[in-house]
Amino acid sequence: MRNFDSDGTTIHYVDEGQGEPILLIHGLTGSHDEWRAPGIIDDLSRDYRIIALDVRGHGQSDKPHEIARYGVEFSEDVARLLDHLGIERAHIVGYSMGAMIAGRFVADHAARALSVVFGGLAPDPAFVAPVPGAPPPPLPEPTPEELVEIKARTDPEAIEAIIPSFRTLALTDEEIASLDLPMLAIIGSEDPLIFTVDAFAKARPAMEVLVIDGAKHSGPTGAQAHPDFIAELRRFLAGD
């Protein structure tokens, strides 16, 4: 368990295993434990070097309350963490909000990504930065038990600042067209955000898509917790 200074913001991360580096980015209200709980860190660290950060505003990282401290700064934290660790290139894996951050990172720092995996959604611009006045998209609803847990582990003012900052993570059509690296999207068939994967795949047909039958967005029935998530992630990373 380590910390580093990312342009004035303390970011917490874990660094385990040896081999090709994989950087894991969790979702909104979560922490690196989202990758620990379903066994993903322990499994992959047998063959890869696994770096998983607590995104700013989350976990044990700093939680500023200003909108300007979020958005594209999420992506720059990833670049600064790689610099801090002396890693030139890594596989980038993001889940939910982490997939938005991963999209921004590979667009801005294409030479530093070996591949990218979008879990739980794909960074479709119409979702990340919807047109003002457009009907709200369907969003995953936490259970009452999950809501209690989320409130206990988060800073409400930080989360309130994070959500409007998402607009700066949006990719342009030109940026999507320029993505030239192996890409995989993994999502549950019962995830209400599956429409983002469909939309992104139309814009970037080269992206591989895996739909896990019956899986939802989060929790024990989410795609991230399904055994197929690790199996397909390993297959993709191996180039199969």
Closest CA to 26 of 58, 1, 66: 58
71's torsion region: left (phi>0), alpha (psi -120 to 50) or beta? left
pLDDT of residue 107: 97
Report the phi/psi class of residue 15: left, alpha or beta, with left for phi > 0 and alpha for psi in -120 to 50: beta
Q: Which two tokens stand for residue 228?
A: 């197929």
Q: What is the pLDDT of residue 137?
A: 86
| DSSP line for 130-199 | PPTTPPPPP-----HHHHHHHHHHS-HHHHHHHHHHGGGGPPPHHHHHH--S-EEEEEETT-TTHHHHHH
Take residue 65 and report the two structure tokens written for it: 């309350």
Centroid of chain to Cα 13: 14
Tokens in use for 207? 């992206």
Q: Determine the pLDDT at residue 64.
A: 98
| Residue-range definition of the domain harbouring residue 179 | 2-237
User: With 90 as the cut, is the pLDDT of residue 109 above it?
Assistant: yes
pTM: 0.97
What is the rounded radius of gyration, in angstroms, for the C-alpha atoms of the chain? 16
pLDDT at res. 139 = 86
3-class secondary-structure state, position 133 = coil
Number of independent structural domains in the chain: 1
Q: What are phi and psi of 91, to 5 degrees?
A: -75, 135
- Mean pLDDT rounded to a whole number for the chain: 96
Tens digit of each residue's pLDDT (9 = 90 or more) over 73-93: 999 999 999 999 999 999 999
| Interaxial angle between packed helices 97-108 and 72-85, expressed in degrees from 0 to 180 and rounded to the nearest 10 | 70
Question: Nearest CA to 35 among 225, 237, 233?
Answer: 225
Is the pLDDT assigned to residue 143 strictly greater than 90? no
Give, as one character, the DSSP assignment of residue 185: E
Residue 211's CATH number: 3.40.50.1820
pLDDT in tens, 126-138: 999 998 888 888 8
- State how far the alpha carbon of 156 is from the alpha carbons of 70, 105, 150, 229, 236, in Å: 14, 26, 10, 30, 36
